[in-house]
Structure 1
Amino acid sequence: MAAPRELSGIGRAVQGAIYAAGVYGHKPKVPVEPAALYDAARRKMSPQAWSYVAGSAGMQRTDRANTAAFERFPIVPRVLRNVSERSLDVTLFGRDLPAPVLFAPIGVLEMAHKDAEIAVAQAARSLGLPMVLSTQGSVPMERTAAELGTNPMWYQLYWSNNDDLAKSLVQRAEAAGAQAIVVTLDTHLLGWRTKDLDLGYLPFARGEGIAQYLTDPVFQQLVRDKAGPDTQAGRVGRAPKGEAVSGPTTSERPTPAAIRTLLSITRHYPGKLADNLRSPLPRTAVETFLDVFPCPALTWEDLAKLREWTRLPIVLKGIQSVDDARMALDHGVDGMVVSNHGGRQIDGAVASLDALAEIAPAVEGQVPVLFDSGIRSGADIFKALALGAAAVLVGRPWLYGLALDGAAGAEAVMERLLAELDLTMALSGVASIDEITRDCLSS
């Protein structure tokens, strides 16, 4: 396994490599300009995949607010400072990282590229950046962890309404080498996502993005319990002779779409396709997932259970108010992520950067405050750090690169964000991450 590349001076190195290739007429396969990257990925992906990954809640107002917020905090460059040597190094939870940037957890990566988490793990490993694995992954966490090797890995938990299942997922992640547990708090129910609704498309109903569940022993027992006694007796629930197994439960006649859904479900379920087509277990697994996913009854008191399940640092993702940040501190969490889920949950919510500007000072450095939602450039990363973020999680941009060129595309996007961050630091008169403070921005 190759060692991560050196990030010192990455700005000029990446910039120079692109210009050098241009001398021979070669342009970047993955566009550098954010709008061009967005458009290229949209053309590459299916309408269903694009709507799912790029769409947000309602009228998309929170998504727009997230990006617009960065315009309210202009950078104030300082000059005549020695920035000939710069470092992006940071320390989080006692571990040294080459840059304050993580691969954010994104589910159903198979919609963007067939290699899904495996490709992202390769990109993260090449850069030495932490990868946050999603509970809604397309690849079992153990396989992704093996691909990451010694590279930093965190695990993002969607806390289901079955505590035994949540505990199993957390303990599997710890056994696989996760270094932190990131609990997403803002998605105990799915938001009103109009683009997905207009297509009638939910990937989980097709067996996509539920690999962590399908490989979990607690979940598999829930599936067998739901399927009935025949499966418990070891007969894998084969349909009686002459009785066909249709697609999703419905009173309508099978349609081509229903048949495609059935095939998707059976392909994703462990085992042989022929056996799965005659078994109720694949469809029951999807039904079981849809039953156990929502958890609107989760409260602050439940965090005590998580402390019993794991020794890892606990990071709460989805903090958007100062009061909740203080509650998190009162409950002894190890860190928090200021996030509104990229605008995917509530239409018209507070912009994530505006929330960060209030929350970070209130936390007063008691625990690391991380940030996501709206980052599209290295300058955006700089601004988030200046407003008090200890590190940022980047999501959609690298996913667009993944869709365009697999692991190489995801790596290229993140590499360029680091390059722009490095150059923004140099041009702003700072040489290290800890020098990026509120004073770097206009009041």
Structure 2
Amino acid sequence: MAGRVPMMQPQIILLKEGTDASQGRGQLLSNINACLAVVDTVRTTLGPRGMDKLIVDEKGEVTISNDGATIMKLLDVVHPAAKTLVDIARSQDAEVGDGTTSVVLLAGELLKEVRGYIEDGVSPHIIIKGYRNAAQLAINKIKEIAITIERTDDIQFRDLLKKCAGTAMSSKLIHSHEDFFTDMVVNAVLKLDQEELNEKLIGVKRIPGGAMEDSLLVDGVAFKKTFSYAGFEQQPKSFKNPKILSLNIELELKAEKDNAEVRIDDVSEYQAIVDAEWTIIYSKLETIVNAGAKVVLSRLPIGDLATQYFADRDIFCAGRVPAEDLNRVVNAVGGSMQTTVSNIEDKHLGTCEYFEEKQIGGERFNIFEGCPATKTCTLILRGGAEQFIAEVERSLHDAIMIVKRCIKNNLTVAGGGATEV
């Protein structure tokens, strides 16, 4: 009796076309080599003598930077294992702010050390276990050498924060102006609410032109003058303790829609329709004036009719204010964003000690200082080229994050790679 041949189960592989399913020692070595290639790219940016990289993306935009996280993000790494290096640089940037190049280099050196063991056939599990033990020993050692910060002496505490900010700037473009910028960074962070320490409340504005020392810290909110209509020149440009109204409505005459249809029997009715439109906008403007607002801001346009109306009554207005800037203004001056002008009460209006529109470089800026509601501030950065100012901003972001971390966590260790060594 002939034996039955067992039927083979058909294998279904649910993978995308062109998928490489390599595994084992060869793949581990390939992963390590890919990571080391990325590490070699950023290695030269480390330290006070580190060089900046000039990177051009597919859109042709140029970035000059020696910030590890920025470079890693712009490298557009495709290899899946090497992408983990991009992730650790990003998480370091989000958590600590500085040391983004150091973590990539440290990870690369650790991988380089194990390459020999992998080639000799040592199991990755043993290597990982060893690294986990080593990490614990390193953390214990760091806790041992850490210095505790006491907030008892304000002068000493501020001095320590300046030293921490200075370390973050030591390898950056702004190192030559360290004293000027460390002061600015520490002042900015100390102006925030010390419980929340939300670094997003530190606004940054870039204005090309001028020297780096022309940069300034505004104790409040500043944003670029928005598009303005005729009549704007006649409005007052500064107030003391003004009432500020923030709106999300359009203040201009609406053009009739092409498909609107109105049927009338005689000419007087047409006049009534036109008058109704004017009546609506005038009643809105009158309500705003009666509310006592001296500065009117809106996310949507404020037209020429409203601009002239406010100018005649000594009121300043700005329409088309970017949402981010308007939200910071509302948070800083108090009050709330209004989507209608009916029933405006005093509690809906914000205030600040001083409002001014002034020229900074080639731009005009609206500045709100001495804001009572939320502690916020704005850094206005000056410098030669746009890429140069962008790099200054990245350097200051690192320093701000370090100072914030210092205040939140009262332990600090020597920076600038000293601990890693």
Aligning the two structures, in what range does the TM-score lie when normalised by the shorter sequence?
Answer: under 0.3
Q: TM-score, normalised by structure 2?
A: 0.22
Q: Find the structure with the greater CA-based Rg.
A: 2
> Which structure has greater strand proportion?
2
